[in-house]
Chains A and B, each alone.
Chain A
Amino acid sequence: MAIDAATVKKVARLAHIREPEDKLDALAEELNGILAWIEQLNAVDTEGVEPMTSAVATVLPMRRDEVSEGGDPARVLANAPKSDRGFFVVPKVVE
């Protein structure tokens, strides 16, 4: 399952990270090195093994479906790169 520059480009797009064209080959080589090392997992027999999805076997607690805090837009917006009258200002989303 070797990765080529085109795959890196596709994955970088999925990850929303711009990677310059001239770096794609080097990145592909790096990622292949890591993935080749990871391939050794194929040697483990995992037939019938349940995937471990949580570090501790507990049931997720449920809480009441009610508002516990809110109504403080100034705190929510305190770190916004751009805000205006209680809203986040973001680049145009719909043409």
Chain B
Amino acid sequence: MADIEHLTLKAATEGLKHKQFSSAELTGAHLEAIQAARPLNAFVLETPDKAMAMAKAADARLARGEGGALEGVPLGIKDLFCTEGVRTTAGSKILGDFRPTYESTVTANLFRDGAVMLGKLNLDEFAMGSSNETSAFGPVVNPWRTRGSNAALTPGGSSGGSSTAVAASLCLGATATDTGGSIRQPAAFTGTVGIKPTYGRCSRWGIVAFASSLDQAGPIAKTVEDAAILLKSMAGHDPKDSTSLDVETPDFPSFVGQPVKGLKIGVPREYRVDGMPAEIEQLWAKGVEWLKDAGCEIVEVSLPHTRYALPAYYIIAPAEASSNLARYDGMRYGLRVDADTLEEVYEATRAEGFGAEVKRRVLIGTYVLSAGYYDAYYLKALKVRRRIADDFTQAFEKVDALLTPTAPSAAFGLGDRTSDPVAMYLNDIFTVTVNLAGLPGMSVPAGLDAQGLPLGLQLIGRPLDEGTLFSLGRALELAADFTAKPERWW
């Protein structure tokens, strides 16, 4: 089997179609890589038997000249997606050995198109975290290290298993979800591409819910084109999710490589924050130059309520989470801790099943929704959310897309930021506004910092205009010519 490290998903689909290798070979090579990469802790469950069975079925279809857009392509699945008959944990102890009796719509769409599942990927518990350190299965380790150091770095979160698996070439692409930055920040920390589409583009049915008005699925991939191919399969209207948009899914891959000449790109001045490393500022300026060279017109814009996005998010997301996570009561599935009364069973089960960050957020959410505080916190946050969305609407009257850094730093050390919740929350400062406004956002790897760690740039688009992001993302990718790979130490 060829060198999977340099194989893109797009190249794999062509290799499979032209019988240069079989899906069984391709899948087998990735299963071996996964086995060798256990120190990264990217997978919480490997499913080699299922993977080989799916690969052989794909090979049979390919031999008959049939098969979908992803026929025989091995992927990793974030363990927030329910997979029929395969343990699904959401990175929590409270789901125990939960084996869904149904398939999430997004994974069903991928399998319809021929994708092969390699296993379930680690994540922050219930996707609540920015460093993968809240997972009940322990943190994922970033395959990237700073030059001359063996210190373990975070792969970002919550989709840290997805970003690490793609960066370490353990799969050709991965599913992920993004509530406040959980696709884009891990992509930036690992030199991969991640896109959170417009809210409603992908069905949330069968994805373990965190904050339903913000959650959205998307891919993490090796290239912009791979991300476009994956998103095309994942997206689509689903009557089982009432917030899923009843619109046609565009042919996203056809936007990759389209000229970007004449597009107006906004640079929001409020994204220059105190304490941001000079290297990120410089990379952002480079990104502006790259797009100018590609024929874009750069316009400075203002998003005046940017600084209020994170505090509003930390009311809205915990409020929704406290309601969504009320279902984990030990009665119908998952963990049950026995006690004398029903009330005590609930309290003991949730005390044992939830980790510290999940409890913290459920408590905050319960508090801001409780009698006497609802107006002061929750209603206020919903009004601020409107202000933030209006900022974008006004900016998009003048520009076609926005360019910003993805995260305010490169990957940091595991354990470095766990003592202060607010410091951890600040990771999402550039990504969370996009969730609040329901917009599409994509992170593209743009360079390495002085210590050799990847940095990402974020493109933000109008609602349902992922196509323009794929064109611009490809332009950035070409200009940045980011070909660095983590040195294999595992």
Interface residues of A (CB under 8 A from B): 1, 3, 7-8, 11-19, 27, 30-31, 33-35, 37-44, 46, 49-56, 58, 60-61, 63, 75-76, 78-82, 88, 90-93
With a cutoff of 8 Å between Cβ atoms, the chain A residues found around residue B336 in the complex are 81-82
Could you tell me if A81 and B362 are in contact, using CB atoms closer than 8 angstroms? no
Which residues of B are found within 8 Å of A92, using beta-carbon distances? 341-342
A37 in contact with B363 (CB, 8 Å): no
16 contacts between A and B (CB under 8 A): A15-B350, A15-B366, A16-B326, A16-B343, A17-B359, A17-B363, A31-B360, A34-B421, A34-B422, A40-B307, A46-B387, A55-B214, A55-B436, A79-B334, A90-B331, A91-B339
Chain B 322-348, CB-CB to A under 8 Å as 1, else 0, gives 100010011111111011011111111
Which of B97, B314, B438, B463 sits near A38, CB closer than 8 Å? B314
Given contacts A41-B311, A55-B213, 12 further A-B pairs with CB under 8 A are A15-B322, A15-B363, A18-B348, A34-B360, A54-B213, A55-B435, A56-B243, A56-B245, A56-B463, A58-B200, A79-B97, A79-B332
With CB as the reference atom, state the residue of chain B lying closest to A14: B366
Whether A17 contacts B362 by the Cβ 8 Å rule is yes
The answer to the question of B246 belonging to the interface, with a C-beta cut-off of 8 Å to chain A, is yes
Chain B residue with the shortest CB-CB distance to A37: B422
- Which residues from chain A contact B384 at a C-beta distance below 8 Å? 41, 44, 46
Separation in Å of the A64 CB from the closest CB of chain B? 11
- Asked if A34 contacts B385 (CB within 8 A), the reply is no
Closest 6 CB pairs of A and B: A55-B438, A51-B382, A79-B333, A46-B383, A18-B347, A81-B336
Residue pair B239, A51 in contact (C-beta under 8 Å): no
The answer to whether A38 and B347 have CB atoms under 8 Å apart is no
Chain B 368-390 residues near chain A, CB threshold 8 A: 370, 373, 376-377, 379-387, 389
Contacts of B370 in A (CB 8 A): 11, 14
Please tell me if the beta carbons of A31 and B331 are within 8 angstroms of each other in the complex.
Answer: no
A38 to B315, Cβ gap below 8 A? yes
Contact B347 A40, beta carbon cutoff 8 Å: no
CB-based contact B366/A52 at 8 Å: no
Chain B residue with the shortest CB-CB distance to A16: B346
**Smallest beta-carbon distance B81→chain A, Å:** 16
Whether, in the assembled complex, B242 has its beta carbon less than 8 Å from a beta carbon of chain A, the answer is yes
Residue among A55, A82, A88 with the highest chain B CB neighbour number at 10 A: A55
Using A41-B380, A79-B332, A80-B332 as known contacts, say yes or no to A17 and B311 having CB atoms under 8 A apart. Answer: no
A17 near B351 with CB under 8 A, answer yes
Contact B345 A91 (CB under 8 A): yes
Complex Cα distance, B238 from A15, in Å, reads: 32
User: In the complex the two chains form, what is the Cα distance from A78 to B366 in whole Å?
Assistant: 30
CB proximity of A76 to chain B, nearest CB, Å? 8
Docked complex Cα distance between A7 and B366 (Å): 11
- The residue in chain A whose Cβ has the minimal distance to the Cβ of B314 is A38
What's the minimum C-beta distance from A70 to chain B, rounded to whole angstroms? 13
Interface residue from B332, B341, B346, B366 paired with A88 (Cβ < 8 Å): B332
- Judge whether B99 is part of the interface by a CB distance below 8 angstroms: yes
**Which A residues touch B307, using CB under 8 A?**
40
Q: Is the CB of A40 within 8 A of B387?
A: no
A-B contact count (CB 8 A): 163
Expressed in whole angstroms, the minimum distance between the Cβ of B104 and any Cβ of chain A is 16
| Chain B nearest Cβ from A80, distance in angstroms | 6
Q: Which residues of A contact B354 (CB under 8 A)?
A: 17
Partner of B382, one of A8, A14, A53: A53
A2 CB to nearest B CB, Å: 12
CA A33 to CA B363, docked complex, whole Å = 13
CB proximity to A under 8 Å, residues B241-276: 242-243, 245-246
Do residues A40 and B308 form an inter-chain contact, with CB atoms below 8 A? yes
Q: Is the CB of B99 within 8 A of A46?
A: no
> What A residues does B387 contact at CB under 8 A?
44, 46, 49
Q: Are A78 and B351 in contact (CB under 8 A)?
A: no
Q: How far is the CA of A63 from the CA of B240 in the complex (A)?
A: 10
Q: Which residues of B are found within 8 Å of A3, using beta-carbon distances?
A: 367
A52-B198 in contact (CB<8A) = no
A38 and B377 contacting across the interface, CB-CB below 8 Å: yes
A55 touching B363 in the complex, CB below 8 Å, given contacts A79-B332, A90-B342: no
Chain B 415-445 against A: per-residue CB contact (8 Å), 1 yes, 0 no? Answer: 0000011100000000000011110000000
A13 to B350, CA, bound (A): 11
Contact of A58 among B245, B348, B362, B382 (CB under 8 A): B245
Contacts of B338 in A (CB 8 A): 91
Are B437 and A55 neighbours in the complex by a CB distance under 8 Å? Answer: yes
Q: Which of A30, A60, A75 has the most CB of B within 10 A?
A: A30
A41 to chain B, nearest CB (A): 5
Q: When the two chains form the complex, which single residue of A37, A40, A49, A91 contacts B386, counting CB atoms closer than 8 Å?
A: A49
Q: Does B296 contact A (CB under 8 A)?
A: no
**Which of B314, B350, B376 contacts A34 (CB under 8 A)?**
B314
CB neighbours (8 Å) of B198 from chain A are: 56
CB–CB B308/A79 < 8 A: no
Please give me the residue from chain B that is nearest to A55 by CB atom.
B438
CB-nearest residue of chain A to B350 = A17
CA distance A56 to B204 in the complex (A): 14
Task: Provide the residues of chain A in CB contact with B382, threshold 8 Å.
Answer: 51-53
